[in-house]
Amino acid sequence: MQPMTRRNMLSRTSCLGTAVAVGLPLISAGTEELPGQQSSTTKAKLKVVVTGGHPGDPEYGCGGTIALYSDLGHDVVLLYLNKGEGNDKTAHDPNPVRVAEATKASEILKARPSFAGQIDGKAIVDQVHYEQFHRLMEAEQPDVVFTQWPIDNHPDHRAISLLSYEAWLRMGKRFALFYYEVSDGEDTVQFAPTHYVDITGTEPRKRSACYAHASQAPDRFYALQELVTRMRGIESGHKQAEGYIHLVQSPVVALP
């Protein structure tokens, strides 16, 4: 993808519901901030962390946005709560399938995979795991974090959302925090975006990254997620879009 001009970057991003002009990651001029908030959009290179309950969640919820960020030269990490294995099998398997799939998906999106070490379907949210996850996030020093919306029918999705929120609090609310949606109705419930990113140009790479998770019935799940991105596209005036909810107390930063 060619570097985008400021004009077409502005046109790519729609912001509804709040009077926020979304910042430009590589061009600091023109960034606006909410009163009392600071923006880190003046940094030339952003660290973007996308947290998800399982391998595949960041890709399904944010894959088009991730591809835009990485194409712009930003550093993107996909931080998965677990390795997609429901017991300790992964620890003894030298070639765990879902880790290989996540690695391939990350390569397609030019991101780096990372794993928080929990077990699929047995997410734990307590003081020990808040502290462990906080340390992981401190090591990354993110400018922007995307995580799952906390009202969700999968307990691992709720867990990663709470762990991410607690890390944001413990780190002094200093990174921008956005929530994303997956498999609405089945998983995410009652999600009303405040921001949209036009992913029309990067949707094919998002699709490839999702299909890299070949063990996870991508025909079924991608069809469902594409309904969501087409609906968000209708809402925001694009062919396909990803919708986000910006946490109002977090900095206003840089959607691509």
Residues forming the site for Zn ion (CB under 5 A): 53-54, 57
Shortest separation between residue 171's beta carbon and Zn ion, angstroms:
24
**What span, in angstroms and rounded, lies between the C-alpha atoms of 89 and 220?**
26
Shortest separation between residue 154's beta carbon and Zn ion, angstroms:
6
Q: Based on CB atoms, which residue is closest to Zn ion, 41 or 216?
A: 216
Bridge partners of 82, per DSSP, are 118
Q: Based on CB atoms, which residue is closest to Zn ion, 57 or 198?
A: 57
> Length of the chain in residues, anyone?
256
Shortest separation between residue 187's beta carbon and Zn ion, angstroms:
7
Do 138 and 106 touch, CB atoms closer than 8 A? Answer: no
Interhelix angle 203-211/218-236, rounded to 10 degrees, is 160
Q: Based on CB atoms, which residue is closest to Zn ion, 57 or 166?
A: 57
Residues 6+ positions from 45 with CB-CB distance below 8 Å: 73, 74, 75
Identify the DSSP state of 152: B
Shortest separation between residue 61's beta carbon and Zn ion, angstroms:
9
Q: Cα angle at 177 between 196 and 79, to 5 degrees? A: 100
Shortest separation between residue 31's beta carbon and Zn ion, angstroms:
33
Q: Based on CB atoms, which residue is closest to Zn ion, 57 or 242?
A: 57
Q: Based on CB atoms, which residue is closest to Zn ion, 31 or 164?
A: 164
